[in-house]
């Protein structure tokens, strides 16, 4: 059992009894890690680690089985993006984004047609292919022999944390290059996140107060509409430009005034009286949410959340 994810690699944390080849079974009592620190079943569930099974004691380099465990286990949520042929004929593939229990992402690139012996740098860039932009995530280089690259992604260039949910709506694209010496030649390329035309939307509303009786919305399909009920889509982003002095605009799980039961997942500046409240609706958002003034029960409406 190793520390970190299989994509990152890490030192050995615990050594199991060898798997018996005839039966394919290994049983080991685990009460402490190899360094002597206590380790129980509850620790397994949150452990940042993975398991390697090797061919033999004399051939540890050959892996016969491998899997992430604990917080690195995959939830089953995933999305695949096409990487199309670009400057070199015959090379294309996919980029698979998979969510981990801890909210981070395993990115697997699988290309076909890559030349043997090659190593192809890969990156996630800001903006779309047509606009181009700077690198925001460095990915593991694609192995030319296998066409494969696996990368654990938990932060952007510069250190800002980024989740699987964040990447679903990112304004971004992927480039895979020919080599470190020829980054100008792109062998495969594809838009991801909000740029793939998957039905995600981005809407902006201007919101003011009508005294202490209502929020008044303008923008998109609304004109001077008091306390509208809105339908929001999971994976989409909504911006509420607030100008309502004395009336904090709160997104909540339970309707009513006060600051209890706030819903903060994907929300920026919840409770603002001036400026933008943004809401990127998570994939696991509940079916019903509300907006409400912190102080006035009449200033409220319903968000119906759909896929």
pLDDT for 63: 92
Both 91 and 170 in one domain: the answer is yes
pLDDT for 76: 84
From 173, 193, 213, give the residue that closes a domain. Answer: 193
Encode burial over 95-133: b for 16+ CB neighbours within 10 A, e otherwise.
Answer: bbbbbbebbbbbbbbbbeebeeebbbbbbbbbebbeeee
Both 83 and 189 in one domain: the answer is yes
Both 187 and 244 in one domain: the answer is no
3-state class (DSSP) for residue 18: coil
Both 157 and 226 in one domain: the answer is no
pLDDT for 197: 60
Both 259 and 296 in one domain: the answer is yes
Q: Rounded to whole angstroms, how far apart are CA atoms 51 and 6?
A: 8
From 13, 43, 72, give the residue that closes a domain. Answer: 72
Domain count, the chain: 3
Query: What residues in the chain have per-residue pLDDT under 50?
Result: none
Both 9 and 44 in one domain: the answer is yes
pLDDT for 200: 63
Q: Rounded to whole angstroms, how far apart are CA atoms 141 and 150?
A: 8
Q: What is the pLDDT of residues 143-189, one digit of tens each?
A: 999 999 999 999 999 999 999 999 998 999 999 999 999 999 999 99
| Domain coverage including residue 249 | 202-305
């Amino acid at each position: 059992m190793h520390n970190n994810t299989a994509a990152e690699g890490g030192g050995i944390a615990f050594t199991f009894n060898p798997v018996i080849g005839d039966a394919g079974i290994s049983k080991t009592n685990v009460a402490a890690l190899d360094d002597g620190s206590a380790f129980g079943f509850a620790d397994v569930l949150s452990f940042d680690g993975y398991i390697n099974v090797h061919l033999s004691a004399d051939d540890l380099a050959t892996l016969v089985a491998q899997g992430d465990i604990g917080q690195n286990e995959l939830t089953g949520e995933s999305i695949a993006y096409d990487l199309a042929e670009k400057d070199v004929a015959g090379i294309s593939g996919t980029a698979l984004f998979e969510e981990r229990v801890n909210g981070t992402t395993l990115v697997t690139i699988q290309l076909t047609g890559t030349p043997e012996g090659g190593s192809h740098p890969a990156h996630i860039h800001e903006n779309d292919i047509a606009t181009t932009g700077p690198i925001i995530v460095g990915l593991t280089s694609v192995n030319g022999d296998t066409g494969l690259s696996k990368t654990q992604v938990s932060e952007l260039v510069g250190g800002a944390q980024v989740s699987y949910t964040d990447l679903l709506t990112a304004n971004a694209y992927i480039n895979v290059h020919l080599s470190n010496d020829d980054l100008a030649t792109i062998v495969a390329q594809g838009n991801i996140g909000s740029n793939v035309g998957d039905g995600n939307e981005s809407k902006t509303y201007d919101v003011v107060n009508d005294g202490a009786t209502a929020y008044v919305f303008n923008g998109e399909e609304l004109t001077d509409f008091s306390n509208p009920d809105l339908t929001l889509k999971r994976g989409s982003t909504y911006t509420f430009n607030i100008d309502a002095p004395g009336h904090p605009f709160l997104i909540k799980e339970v309707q009513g005034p006060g600051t209890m039961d706030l819903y903060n997942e994907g929300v920026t500046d919840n409770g603002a009286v001036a400026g933008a409240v943004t809401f990127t609706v998570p994939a696991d958002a509940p079916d019903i949410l509300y907006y409400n003034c912190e102080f006035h029960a009449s200033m409220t409406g319903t968000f119906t959340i759909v896929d």
